């Protein structure tokens, strides 16, 4: 559980206190660096909690280099046993809905998520069920026969049973990041399309950030939500603990007039066997998205080549032909190379910098962070403004323990 540090007054309360002259003290000024899924939502919830917030991004929210770029992301609660992410996904779902209503926008498409479970070891899936129940996420268990009756367009060879989450589905990615920025600006936030160019943020004393236009930014608290770039900005504290890996994503064209592979007839799906492959039908007309979750080689998010490999395309084509035989000859419409920003244990990194008490490091989305954006943002606003400590699972000192 999150605990407040003893003897400290929540900053929110400090903000509300009046000075001896009777004038209100200025608000806590928080600088958030990075307007992706983690930083954007954090900036928004800090603002809603009464902070003054300056949000910065080098290339803009959901840009093509960012981990939050591209068309779509899966939202699901099936996460295995003993982890906090099922509950976080449930809270995030609620907040995605609330914000959609507030902005009158459609960002979450609850087309359902089908999790195909392989014959053999199904501890991950069995362990997910109590977590789903506890989090209040509705689901159905389907036998192989039920799966075949419901989705005859899938070749179910090697599948034993399935979990179906009717309220799961997909989120728009780039569009949602932009919507968060628009909401943030409409509610009074300040945004600068600039990069932090300070070096050596780990060591030495600094009390302001050097920005790419030569100006400086000074704030009471700093949150670095720089996705795959976090290790470069904090080489000692983070360094290789955020390892960007190259991930290829493919969009195939479905036969004209055939709805079997669109989100009208097929939910988001995940195929958990020796490899973990997933797909999102629909994608605003961009085709049938398929990707392999296996970690690719290390990747440079700034200048890495984003052309997919012939080998990656062949592997995914073979897979599609096997699992969705009617798409055997489907043309490749589009492809993308994105990167995961992996922490060593795939858990998020949420902690204060060990030297700079007013600097927070937020990242390590590890290929599953996007859906949690609003829940993380809400949690971060509480941690920063109420001076609480993050859960041990997210803290940096776990890495020291992992090495021992
Ligand atoms: C192919 C792929 C599929 C995925 N699928 C899913 C999924 O289905 N479901 C899911 O929940 N998650 C998924 N994820 C993971 C999820 O997208 C990421 O975990 C999440 O988007 C990470 O967000 P972030 O804000 O930490 O990083 P980013 O989105 O990378 O944001 C970091 C931002 O920091 C900015 N920045 C960096 N350095 C500086 C600097 N010096 N100054 C100013 N700004 C800077 C960048 O421009 C960038 O916009 C997937 C990721 C990929 C790549």
Tens of pLDDT, residue by residue over 126-160, are 999 999 999 999 999 999 999 999 999 999 999 99
In this predicted structure, the answer to whether residue 7 has a pLDDT above a threshold of 50 is no
Rg (CA), the chain: 22
Q: Is 168 in the pocket of ligand 1 (CB under 6 A)?
A: no
Going by alpha carbons, the residue nearest to atom 21 of ligand 1 is 68
Mutate which of 64, 72, 83, 229 to test ligand 1's pocket (most atoms within 8 Å of Cβ)?
229
In this predicted structure, the answer to whether residue 164 has a pLDDT above a threshold of 60 is yes
Angle value at C-alpha 372, between 389 and 385, nearest 5 degrees? 35
User: What's the pLDDT score for residue 204?
Assistant: 66
* Cα 247 to ligand 1 centroid, rounded to whole Å: 13
- For residues 282 and 263, the answer to whether their CB atoms sit within 8 Å is yes
Q: Is 363 in the pocket of ligand 1 (CB under 6 A)?
A: yes
User: What's the pLDDT score for residue 200?
Assistant: 81
Q: Is 195 in the pocket of ligand 1 (CB under 6 A)?
A: yes
Mutate which of 33, 65, 68, 296 to test ligand 1's pocket (most atoms within 8 Å of Cβ)?
68
Q: Is 33 in the pocket of ligand 1 (CB under 6 A)?
A: yes
Tens of pLDDT, residue by residue over 205-239, are 788 999 999 999 999 999 999 999 999 999 999 99
Q: Is 261 in the pocket of ligand 1 (CB under 6 A)?
A: no
* Cα 175 to ligand 1 centroid, rounded to whole Å: 13
* Average pLDDT over every residue of 368-396: 98
User: What's the pLDDT score for residue 205?
Assistant: 78
Work out the pLDDT band at 120, boundaries 50, 70, 90: confident
Tens of pLDDT, residue by residue over 57-104, are 999 999 999 999 999 999 999 999 999 999 999 999 999 999 999 999
Copy the structure tokens of residue 255. Answer: 């036969």
Q: Is 231 in the pocket of ligand 1 (CB under 6 A)?
A: no
| Separation between Cα atoms, residue 153 and residue 282, nearest integer Å | 15
User: What's the pLDDT score for residue 230?
Assistant: 98
User: What's the pLDDT score for residue 119?
Assistant: 84
User: What's the pLDDT score for residue 403?
Assistant: 58
CB hemisphere CA count around 101 (13 angstroms): 5
- Model pTM? 0.94
Residue keyed to tokens 């290390």: 298
* Cα 228 to ligand 1 centroid, rounded to whole Å: 7
Work out the pLDDT band at 9, boundaries 50, 70, 90: very low
Going by alpha carbons, the residue nearest to atom 42 of ligand 1 is 195
User: What's the pLDDT score for residue 24?
Assistant: 59
Instruction: Count the neighbouring beta carbons within 10 Å of the beta carbon of residue 202.
Output: 17
In this predicted structure, the answer to whether residue 303 has a pLDDT above a threshold of 70 is yes
Q: Is 68 in the pocket of ligand 1 (CB under 6 A)?
A: yes
User: What's the pLDDT score for residue 6?
Assistant: 30
Tens of pLDDT, residue by residue over 11-42, are 444 444 444 444 556 899 999 999 999 999 99
For the ranges 200-204, 239-243, 288-292, the lowest mean pLDDT is seen at 200-204
In this predicted structure, the answer to whether residue 172 has a pLDDT above a threshold of 90 is yes
Closest ligand 1 atom, residue 366 Cα: 19
In this predicted structure, the answer to whether residue 260 has a pLDDT above a threshold of 50 is yes
Q: Is 35 in the pocket of ligand 1 (CB under 6 A)?
A: yes
Alpha helices for 104-229 (secondary structure H)? 123-135, 144-150, 174-186
- For residues 57 and 34, the answer to whether their CB atoms sit within 8 Å is yes
Greater confidence, 240 or 7? 240
Work out the mean pLDDT of the chain and round it to a whole number.
93
Closest ligand 1 atom, residue 39 Cα: 25
Helices 174-186 and 85-103, axial angle in degrees (round to 10): 60
- For residues 397 and 372, the answer to whether their CB atoms sit within 8 Å is no
Work out the pLDDT band at 180, boundaries 50, 70, 90: very high
């Amino acid at each position: 559980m999150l605990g407040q540090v003893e003897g400290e007054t929540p900053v929110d309360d400090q903000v509300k206190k009046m000075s001896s002259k009777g004038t209100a003290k200025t608000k806590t000024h928080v600088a958030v660096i990075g307007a992706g899924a983690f930083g954007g939502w954090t900036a928004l919830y800090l603002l809603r909690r009464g902070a003054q917030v300056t949000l910065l991004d080098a290339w803009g929210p959901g840009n093509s280099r960012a981990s939050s770029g591209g068309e779509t992301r899966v939202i699901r609660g099936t996460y295995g046993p003993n982890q906090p992410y099922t509950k976080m996904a449930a809270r995030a779902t609620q907040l995605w809905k609330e914000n959609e209503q507030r902005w009158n926008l459609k960002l979450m498409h609850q087309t359902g998520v089908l999790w195909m479970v392989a014959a053999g070891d199904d501890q991950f899936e069995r362990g997910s069920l109590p977590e789903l129940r506890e989090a209040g996420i509705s689901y159905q268990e389907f036998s192989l026969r039920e799966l075949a009756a419901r989705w005859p367009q899938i070749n179910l060879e090697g599948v034993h049973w399935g979990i179906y989450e009717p309220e799961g589905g997909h989120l728009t990615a780039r569009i949602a990041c932009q919507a968060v920025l628009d909401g943030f600006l409409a509610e009074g936030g300040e945004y600068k399309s600039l990069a932090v160019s300070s070096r050596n943020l780990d060591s030495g004393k600094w009390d302001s950030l050097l920005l790419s236009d030569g100006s400086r930014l000074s704030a009471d608290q700093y949150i670095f939500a720089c996705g795959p770039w976090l290790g470069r900005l904090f080489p000692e504290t983070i360094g290789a603990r955020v390892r960007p890996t190259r991930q290829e994503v493919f969009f195939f064209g479905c036969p004209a007039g055939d709805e079997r592979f669109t989100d009208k007839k097929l939910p988001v799906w995940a195929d958990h066997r020796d490899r973990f492959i997933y797909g999102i039908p629909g994608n605003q007309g961009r085709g049938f998205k398929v990707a392999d979750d296996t970690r690719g080689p290390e990747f440079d998010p700034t200048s890495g080549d984003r052309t997919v490999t012939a080998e990656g395309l062949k592997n995914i084509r073979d897979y599609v032909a096997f699992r969705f035989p009617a798409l055997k000859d489907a043309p490749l419409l589009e492809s993308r190379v994105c990167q995961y920003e992996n922490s060593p244990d795939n858990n998020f990194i949420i902690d204060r910098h060990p030297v700079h008490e007013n600097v927070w490091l937020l990242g390590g989305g590890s290929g599953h962070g996007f859906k949690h954006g609003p829940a993380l943002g809400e949690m971060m606003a509480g941690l920063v403004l109420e001076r609480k400590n993050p859960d041990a699972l997210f803290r940096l000192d776990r890495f020291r323990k992992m090495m021992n």
